[in-house]
Amino acid sequence: MGSSEVAELVSLAGATAVVTGGGGGIGGGTSRLLAAAGATVVLNDIDAELAAVAVADIEAGGGSAVAVVGDIRDAEVVERLHATATEVAEGAVDVLVNNVGDYRPNGRFVETDDEQWEAQYEIQLRHVFRCTRAFLPEMQAVGRGAIVNVSTVEAFRGIPMNTAYSAFNAGISAFTRSLAVEVGRDGVRVNCIAPDMADTLQTPAEAMLRGRDPDLVGSWIPLGRWGQPSDYARAVLFLASDLSSFVTGSTLMVDGGTMAASGWYGRADGRGWTNLPDRP
Ligand SMILES: NC(=O)c1ccc[n+]([C@@H]2O[C@H](COP(=O)([O-])OP(=O)(O)OC[C@H]3O[C@@H](n4cnc5c(N)ncnc54)[C@H](O)[C@@H]3O)[C@@H](O)[C@H]2O)c1
């Protein structure tokens, strides 16, 4: 295989890609990278300004993008996104990235109420179902498509004070596996990424540090740094492109190694590791 054939594997030239929450953060990085790989990007965002900046950046880089502004929790916005994207694609879109989600702790489980659970369902999972149901039939009809969902490492390890978030994100990974099996023979692949430690609008590194010594980052994150939106976007591009032609139903950890370490912390002085954090 020559280098031009390798370049073709990662190319999305001629493809149309839909990204929810595609203005900022991981979604913003994803919109920009998929566009740089050649896709026409139809990005949804609740924030009109973030959406406009993303479209402008993509166009400035020679790419092509359209924004659909609105709250993806609303069925009407999903419908509008679907109508716009299928018009741009003149039929089935090639890639759907279900990225919207919200990491805001709900507090102690026993003190959470039904409304909070409903809200968690709406922001984490229901729009993933709705967007997938909207775009999937056309993908099946043409016999190709890649769906990439965004879950979290907290779907695989325990997170106190955010139990419903964890449960609905585990739902995203379970949905990914089950749907992948259901639609594999229709030529549609369904995969997922599970981020951790992203330096984004939702979890800025500075806020996560909250005055802690930045030298400690290497003790929490094996790769020794926060993730940037482009780090997660690369994993999405892999799962959206032909590079991952035989991958479906998978959730890929994109976490700088936190799940691999899973409870093991590098000592602050850099001398070895411990799973029993102690005072310095
Ligand atoms: N930040 C992390 O470390 C981290 C860790 C694990 C999982 N995740 C997941 O990654 C995804 C993206 O997170 P992020 O850190 O990039 O978030 P972010 O808040 O930095 O960016 C989210 C983007 O989506 C848009 N958005 C928010 N709510 C929306 C809605 N209802 N409808 C349409 N657009 C909406 C925002 O305007 C923004 O552009 C989420 O599903 C999140 O749960 C993030």
The answer for residues whose C-beta is within 8 angstroms of residue 104's C-beta and 6 or more apart is 165
- Res 280 pLDDT > 60: no
279 pLDDT band, cuts 50/70/90, is: low
Residue with tokens 């056309």: 138
* pTM, rounded to two decimals: 0.97
Contact assessment for residue 151 and residue 193, using Cβ atoms and an 8 Å cutoff = yes
Active site residues: 165
Better-scored residue on pLDDT, 196 or 271: 196
Atom of ligand 1 nearest to the CA of 26: 16
CA Rg, the chain, in Å?
19
Going by CA atoms, what residue is nearest to atom 41 of ligand 1? 101
> Is residue 185 classed as helix, strand or coil in its secondary structure?
helix
Domains of the chain plus CATH, in order, are 3-206+228-262 (3.40.50.720)
Residue 264: predicted pLDDT: 86
> Is residue 188 classed as helix, strand or coil in its secondary structure?
strand
Report which of 147, 140, 150 is spatially closest to residue 183, judged by C-alpha positions. 140
Secondary structure element (H or E) that encloses residue 232, with its range: helix 229-240
Residue 268: predicted pLDDT: 80
Better-scored residue on pLDDT, 262 or 22: 22
Atom of ligand 1 nearest to the CA of 29: 16
Reading the block at residue 93, the tokens are 């879109």
CA–chain centroid gap for 97, Å, is 7
Residue 270: predicted pLDDT: 82
Give residue 254 CA to ligand 1 midpoint distance, Å.
Answer: 15
Ligand 1 proximity of 152 Cβ (cutoff 6 Å):
yes
186-222 pLDDT, tens digit per residue, is 999 999 999 999 999 989 999 988 888 888 898 889 9
Reading the block at residue 232, the tokens are 């997660």
Residue 62: predicted pLDDT: 98
The Cα 24–Cα 53 span in angstroms is 9
**Which residues does residue 192 pair with via DSSP β-bridges, in sequence order?**
149, 251
Ligand 1 proximity of 71 Cβ (cutoff 6 Å):
yes
The Cα 76–Cα 53 span in angstroms is 24
Give residue 216 CA to ligand 1 midpoint distance, Å.
Answer: 25
Average of per-residue pLDDT values in the chain? 96
Residue 18: predicted pLDDT: 99
